[in-house]
């Protein structure tokens, strides 16, 4: 797709912002902005391995979920402007530190810059590249990453358009995320492993929300039917933590119960999904990384 910085339509918001003059809905302007680059031990075991994933957290986000677990960098302007050349250096520094992979978190609104940095790094990069996103991305934008990304790690957050509208003002989320997932699967093909580490393939994450277990189960049935339960690894997350009191959606003001999480896990197992199911005890705000411009 053609990227026009003065009329941005890079993501499904298609807000048309002139990013040389003002930020779009995503918070992105005309340069890369990142909040942290460091080895990260808390991804799925096949991504974090024993030494950690070389994670770069980008500032801003196209989704703005009302329950965001990383609001410090997604909604607030925290971070530092960097050039694509500096991002290339960061990739190589993370590789030097022993990272198992380069893990790009919520970079959808910076895809053209990131693609350039990856192209530059590629001759020296010996580790896989992981695209870690909220799943709300245009397939044509993802095509810019074809051949540059090895592992896709998208969320699939909502299945009901009303839930997506209420919690993220994005009623088209289910359809957009499904089309994006099809594109990711097409790019990666069959899963490839290096020992316990995934070096090519797709992992779909789903955070079970309080009061929404039936929606989660319906999503799993749909994905199994549409793509097949073995098309990707599934990571079912239990760590939903209310970050603030939400007066409009009080159902979001609690953690999920063991029963809710276990019922979704059982559905996933019955459908034949393979992947990662968390201990319910991991529902703790300490999973939120400390953003301090480390490594930027």
Task: Pick the piece of the chain touching ligand SF4 (CB under 6 A) from 15-23, 75-83, 112-120, 153-161.
Answer: 15-23
Alpha-carbon gap, residue 39 to 55, rounded angstroms: 6
Q: Under the criterion CB under 6 A, does residue 14 sit at the interface with ligand SF4?
A: yes
Q: Which stretch binds ligand SF4 (CB under 6 A): 12-20, 33-41, 148-156, 187-195?
A: 12-20
Site membership for ligand SF4, residue 9 (CB under 6 A): yes
Closer to ligand SF4 at the Cβ: 71 or 271? Answer: 71
SS3 (DSSP) at 15:
coil
Dihedrals phi, psi of 62, to nearest 5 degrees? -85, -15
Among 62, 84, 90, 203, binds ligand SF4 (CB under 6 A): 62
Considering the complex, state which of residue 53 and residue 59 has its C-beta at the smaller distance from ligand SF4: 59
Residue 170 burial (C-beta neighbours within 10 Å; 0-12, 13-18, 19+): buried
Of these, 1, 5, 15, 92, which contacts ligand SF4 (CB under 6 A)?
15
Query: Segment near ligand SF4 (CB under 6 A), from 16-24, 93-101, 123-131, 269-277?
Result: 16-24
In what helix (H) or strand (E) does residue 234 lie, and over which residues does it extend? strand 233-237
- Estimate the share of the chain in helix, then strand, then coil, as percent rounded to the nearest 5: 35, 20, 45
- Indicate the residue among 28 and 295 with the shorter CB distance to ligand SF4: 28
Burial class of 71 by CB neighbour count within 10 A (0 to 12, 13 to 18, 19+): middle
Asked whether position 13 contacts ligand SF4 by CB under 6 A, the answer is yes
| Residue 109 interacts with ligand SF4 (CB under 6 A): yes or no | yes
Main-chain dihedrals φ then ψ at residue 186, nearest 5 degrees: -65, -40
- Pick 95 or 183: Cβ nearer ligand SF4: 183
Binding of residue 28 to ligand SF4 (CB under 6 A): yes
**From the CB of residue 249, how many other CB atoms can be counted at a distance below 10 Å?**
15
**Contacts with ligand SF4, residue ranges (CB under 6 A):** 8-11, 13-15, 17, 19, 24-26, 28, 62, 109
């Amino acid at each position: 797709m053609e990227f026009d910085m003065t009329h941005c339509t890079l993501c499904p918001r298609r807000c048309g912002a002139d990013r040389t003059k003002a930020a779009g809905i995503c918070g992105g302007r005309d340069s890369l902005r990142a909040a942290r680059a460091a080895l990260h031990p808390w991804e799925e075991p096949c991504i974090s391995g024993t030494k950690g994933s070389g994670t770069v957290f980008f500032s801003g986000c196209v989704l703005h979920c009302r329950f965001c677990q990383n609001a410090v960098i997604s909604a607030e302007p925290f971070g530092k402007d960097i050039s694509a050349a500096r991002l290339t250096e960061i990739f190589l520094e993370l590789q030097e530190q022993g990272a198992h992979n380069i893990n790009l978190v919520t970079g959808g609104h910076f895809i053209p810059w990131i693609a350039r940095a990856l192209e530059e790094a590629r001759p020296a990069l010996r580790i896989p590249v992981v695209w870690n996103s909220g799943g709300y991305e245009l397939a044509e934008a993802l095509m810019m990453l074809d051949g540059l990304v090895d592992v896709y790690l998208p969320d699939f957050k909502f299945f009901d358009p009303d839930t997506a509208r209420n919690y993220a003002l994005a009623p088209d989320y289910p359809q957009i995320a499904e089309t994006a997932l099809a594109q990711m699967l097409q790019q990666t093909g069959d899963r490839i492993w290096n020992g316990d580490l995934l070096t090519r393939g797709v992992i779909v994450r789903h955070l079970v929300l309080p009061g929404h277990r039936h929606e989660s189960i319906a999503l799993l049935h749909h994905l199994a039917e549409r793509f097949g339960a073995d098309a990707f690894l599934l990571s079912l997350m239990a760590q939903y933590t209310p970050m603030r009191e939400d007066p409009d959606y009080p159902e979001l003001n609690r953690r999920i119960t063991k029963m809710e999480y276990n019922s979704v896990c059982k559905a996933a197992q019955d459908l034949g999904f393979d992947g990662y199911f968390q201990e319910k005890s991991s529902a703790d705000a300490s999973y939120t990384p400390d953003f301090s411009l480390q490594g930027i």
